[in-house]
Amino acid sequence: MGDDNAIRIEQLRKTYAAHKNEPPKEALSGVDLDIPTGSVFGLLGPNGAGKSTLINILAGLVIKTAGRVSIWGFDQDVNPRQSRAAIGVMPQELNLDPFFTPRGALEVQAGLYGVPRAQRRTDEILRLVGLEDKANSYSRTLSGGMRRRLLLGKALVHHPHILVLDEPTAGVDIELRQMLWTNVRRLNEDGMTIILTTHYLEEAEEMCDEIAIINHGAVVARDSTARLLGRIDHKTMVIQPASPPTTLPEAEGVQVEQRADGALALHYHARQTPAEAVLDAVHAAGISISDVRTEQADLQDVFLELTRVNAAD
Ligand code: ADP
Ligand code: MG
């Protein structure tokens, strides 16, 4: 099954019940989201935005308060077993039984999903995530990076159509990050739909075809990665002057920030001020440029930008 959309989410709400002194918490406040089959889809948002809540509802680990979720064409409430079978989730938390070996953990997981022995690919998965050498070591002896790889392996045991990775690279070293991205790209090339959450704009930019930005439990933007980043109007050009400037550049709509290392950061809005006008102002101030670069907007800028644009609509 599975049509153009691997996942369809309509008016999804989640309110966590009151707990001790904590009041009830609305984590998702009516999310509508379609995730295209075959894509690498990014759910981008700051800590506390509701990303893990959304993922855990998809995984069947958190019960939604209201709304409809369909996975690979199966409504979660009507066909819970089929919808669960279509998706594999690598959770954010490193929750592993310390007394299982990687091989054992993969076998148990396959059993839970009802994968017959003849169809299990335990050795293949161990190889894929680079744990052949540790196949028979207790999980408690594995490093953090190895545990994360084992969690990826567990998400794959039942050959899911959709793989979900919740903050896969938070706190991991560069080597593991590379390994994860290589695996994710390969799985996607083989036809798997990938959903990943991150609070790093760069990561979403590098990996994802499409992005939804989620903030305070609501989707505030959803577009192709290129179009979404193109909508970010706030730009920063960083100039390293050849010698200390005697006057600062001045132009309408340009804010100049002098940095400790002698660089000048020029903040401007691309729709209002073309990059040439910014450079002209630098030259007009008699500054010769030894180096120039642009700085990526951070996530906070993106939210401000997108909410500002929406408010103006
Ligand atoms: P993210 O993954 O984007 O960081 P989460 O989905 O983990 O966000 O959390 C969204 C909001 O819901 C946060 O305010 C968080 O504190 C709250 N929350 C998450 N899990 C629970 C829970 N089990 N009980 C109560 N509140 C929770
Ligand atoms: Mg989270």
Asked whether residue 186 carries a pLDDT value surpassing 90, the answer given is yes
Q: Give the span between the Cα atoms of 217 and 53, in whole angstroms.
A: 9
Asked whether residue 276 carries a pLDDT value surpassing 90, the answer given is yes
188-196: average pLDDT: 96
Q: Give the span between the Cα atoms of 136 and 92, in whole angstroms.
A: 24
Domain with CATH 3.40.50.300 in the chain: 5-86+160-229
The tens digit of pLDDT for each residue in 262-271 reads: 999 999 988 8
* Alpha-carbon dihedral 92, 125, 72, 38, rounded to 10 degrees: 90
60-82: average pLDDT: 96
Question: Of ligand 1's atoms, which has the minimum distance to the CA of residue 54?
Answer: 6
**53 alpha carbon to ligand 1 midpoint, in Å?**
6
The answer to whether the CB of 14 is under 6 A from ligand 1 is no
Asked whether residue 1 carries a pLDDT value surpassing 60, the answer given is no
The tens digit of pLDDT for each residue in 214-234 reads: 999 999 999 998 888 777 777
Question: Of ligand 1's atoms, which has the minimum distance to the CA of residue 92?
Answer: 2
Asked whether residue 239 carries a pLDDT value surpassing 80, the answer given is yes
Nearest protein Cα to ligand 1, atom 5:
50
128: its two tokens: 């894929």
The answer to whether the CB of 45 is under 6 A from ligand 1 is yes
133-143: average pLDDT: 90
Neighbours of ion ligand 2 (CB under 5 A): 51-52, 92
Q: What is the pLDDT of residue 307?
A: 64
What residues pair up with 241 in beta bridges, in sequence order?
289
Q: Is pLDDT larger for residue 231 or for residue 260?
A: 260
At the second CATH level, the architecture of 233-296 is: 2-Layer Sandwich (3.30)
Q: Is pLDDT larger for residue 175 or for residue 277?
A: 277
The tens digit of pLDDT for each residue in 95-134 reads: 788 889 999 999 999 999 999 999 999 999 999 999 999 9
At the second CATH level, the architecture of 5-86+160-229 is: 3-Layer(aba) Sandwich (3.40)
**What integer best gives the mean pLDDT of the chain?**
90
Q: What is the pLDDT of residue 299?
A: 67
Whole-model pTM: value is 0.82
Q: What is the pLDDT of residue 313?
A: 44
Nearest protein Cα to ligand 1, atom 19:
53
60: its two tokens: 């069947």
Domain with CATH 3.30.70.250 in the chain: 233-296
Q: What is the pLDDT of residue 277?
A: 94
Whether residue 110 contacts residue 158, with contact meaning beta carbons closer than 8 Å, is answered with yes
Q: Give the span between the Cα atoms of 36 and 81, in whole angstroms.
A: 21
The tens digit of pLDDT for each residue in 24-51 reads: 999 999 999 999 999 999 999 888 999 9
Asked whether residue 193 carries a pLDDT value surpassing 70, the answer given is yes
Q: What is the pLDDT of residue 312?
A: 44
Sorted by sequence, the CB contacts under 8 Å of residue 163 that are 6+ apart come out as: 87, 88, 89, 90, 155, 156, 184, 187, 192, 193, 194, 195
The answer to whether the CB of 147 is under 6 A from ligand 1 is no
